[in-house]
Structure 1
Amino acid sequence: MKKWLPLLFVLFFAQSARAQFETTKDSVVQLYGVVMTADSLVGIPAVSITIKGQNRGTISNSQGVFSIVVLKGDVVEFTHVSYKTKVVDIPRSLVGNQHSVVQLMVEDTVYLPATIIRPRPTPAQFERDFVKTKVPDDDIEVARQNVSVAKRRVLMQNMPLDGSEATSQQFRNVANRAVYAGQLPPQNIFNPAAWAEFIKAWKRGDFKRKSD
């Protein structure tokens, strides 16, 4: 009995796969037809025919004719930029594997808000507005502003030290501590150079409160 078990399993799975294949084969439908305008019955080219919920579809040709493979129970959507969207349900009880559709589409009219264009009242007003119009800076002017002294000073104050500068600063701090080991370091309040730098910074406005 044991030696017949593998054969029974193989026969069972083969029968199940065949039944599933027959079911899938019966549910496949070739959907074809033509998309036309509802008022003049003219074929509409470039209509998107897609299956909802899937990344699969096709478009109609220059005469509005299309063909696509779907499954019974699928929902097919017809969309076009100039027409209202239409939806077609493929019935599950459809007999056979072919289904034809003549899909009529209605134009979708889009109304834009009214725009009123008025001329300038006088040439003097046009000249005044033209002179006061702010022209955006070109690339050369933007580059010139970026390399100005004031802009570079602000960037230098807010830019952190790189690796080499941080290492040099640390070495200077260690050297200063070693020089003044065991005694108080000198106070900059009596340093004329420090006072000169303080006065320059005051004149530049470095200590002014910056507005948010």
Structure 2
Amino acid sequence: MKKLIQYLAIAAFFTVPATAKAQFETARDSVVQLYGVVMTADSLVGIPAVSVTIKGQNRGTLTNDQGVFSIVVLKGDEIEFSHVSYKPKLITIPKSLEGNQHSVIQLMVADTVYLPATIIKPRPTPEQFARDFVGTKVPDDDIEIARQNTSEAKRRVLLRTVPGDGREATSIQFRNVANRAVYQGQVPPMNIFNPAAWADFIQSWKRGDFKNK
């Protein structure tokens, strides 16, 4: 039994490197050096700056001034050729490819691009230019928007419509508690004879703070 275990250990020792070597050979065999030239289909002229990318991956290259390119791919990869002036092309590297090199001559057909219509008008007269220049509405910049938001009228509207935040509500509550503590056991003073209170009342009445909303 002890000898059997020793034989199995020796067999496993020699089997693991063989398996790893086979996997390495398989991975190395799937790598392909793809090279070739991209030309126009009508005149067979090399097309520069053609994007040669592997579909589904962020990897690719560009053709040189003569349309020649070279890139490392894997068997079964889809290679896409694209250019702004030509229709895109898509080829597939055969999985049954023998060897690790593959060359292609890719022809591309010019693509028609339709631009939007351009309307040419005569130059306006000085009178028309002056009229349009004066009548053009210029949008407010950040400084003017800030000035409008901080004006007295805008702040008055915000004071009446925007509710107080937590800090303001807490401050009012603490002030009320302090006033009740100060006048505990006695009648709080009336502001009917306070000139400052009457001035605030008159200003509020002129602003229309007491109008029905």
* Fold in common (TM above 0.5): yes
**Residue 148 of structure 1, CA deviation:** 3.1
User: Could you tell me which residue of structure 2 aligns to residue 79 of structure 1?
Assistant: 82
Using the size of structure 2 for normalisation, the TM-score is 0.76
1:174 and 2:173 are equivalent in the alignment: no
Quote the Cα distance in structure 1 between the aligned partners of 2:15 and 2:88: 47
Determine the C-alpha separation between the residues in 2 that align with 1:114 and 1:207.
Answer: 61
CA distance in 2, matches of 1:127, 1:134: 13
Which amino acid in structure 1 is aligned with residue 35 of structure 2?
A: Y
Is contact 1:36–1:43 with CA below 8 Å preserved after alignment?
yes
Distance 1:156 1:108 in 2: 63
The verdict on how the C-alpha distance between 1:195 and 1:66 changes in structure 2, with shifts beyond 3 A counting, is same
TM-score by length of 1: 0.77
- 1:114/1:208 CA distance change after superposition, 3 Å: farther
The aligned residue for residue 106 of structure 1 is 109
Q: d(CA) in 1 for partners of 2:79 and 2:119?
A: 42
Shift of 1:7: 2.8
Q: Quote the Cα distance in structure 1 between the aligned partners of 2:18 and 2:134.
A: 87
Q: What is the CA-CA distance between 1:9 and the residue it aligns to?
A: 2.2
Q: Which 5+ residue runs of structure 1 have no aligned equivalent?
A: none
**RMSD of aligned Cα (Å):** 3.6
Alignment of 1:27 onto 2:67: no
| Structure 2 unaligned regions, length at least 5 | none
Deviation larger for 132-141 or 117-126? 117-126
Report the CA distance between 1:206 and its aligned residue.
Answer: 5.4
Q: Deviations over 1:106-141 (max 9, x none)?
A: 222211232324347876555433321112334554
Conserved in 2, the CA contact under 8 Å of 1:77 and 1:85?
A: yes
Structure 2 match to 1:38: 41
Distance 1:40 1:184, change over 3 A: farther
